[in-house]
Amino acid sequence: MERRVWHCQDRVLPECAAVRRKGDGLMKAIAVGLTLLALAGCATKHYGRMGDLTSAERTQMNCREITLELAKVDGFVQRVEKESAFNLRSVGSFLADFGLGNVLEKDSALKSARERRQALESLSESKHCGAPTSGD
């Protein structure tokens, strides 16, 4: 019995068409997988960061401005907590990285708020402004 080897590059044979169809399905599956991965990566939430207290702020802020800034920090924390609630973007992010990106983003945002709050409270104490309200 003779064994045939098909070279499908230059020929149009039924056997070659079957090989091409299998290859097309694999390419489509890869394209769909990459598209889903890219879309899920876009699902990671972004909360922003609170900036560090600058030397200009330390020298020029009065007690009233410090209190206002503490209120802004509280508002930022509340916004992060509200936006981190489970929703459709959470599902997409979970599919891409098991939700790890959202957890890391939230932790970084809240850390920046904690650091700014501590700096503002320290400044308030050094300027003898009285007890600031706690955002916790």
Give the pTM: 0.60
| Per-residue confidence (pLDDT) for residue 136, from 0 to 100 | 44
Contacts of 46 (CB under 8 A, 6+ apart): 105
- How far apart CA 65 and CA 40 sit, in angstroms, is 41
Contacts of 16 (CB under 8 A, 6+ apart): 6, 8
Contact criterion met (CB below 8 Å) for 49 and 108: yes
Write down the mean pLDDT value for the chain.
77
Cβ–Cβ under 8 Å, residues 95 and 44: no
Q: Is 44 helix (H, G, I), strand (E, B) or coil?
A: coil
* Per-residue pLDDT reduced to its tens digit, 49-86: 999 999 999 999 999 999 999 999 999 999 999 887 76
Q: Which residues contact 81 (CB under 8 A, 6 or more apart)?
A: none
**pLDDT tens by residue, 99-118:** 667 778 889 999 999 999 99
Domain boundaries, the chain: 55-126
Indicate whether 42 pLDDT > 70. Answer: no
Q: Is 10 exposed, middle or buried (0-12, 13-18, 19+ CB in 10 A)?
A: exposed
Q: Residue 12 — left, alpha, or beta (φ > 0 → left; ψ -120 to 50 → alpha)?
A: beta
**Res. 36: pLDDT tops 80:** no
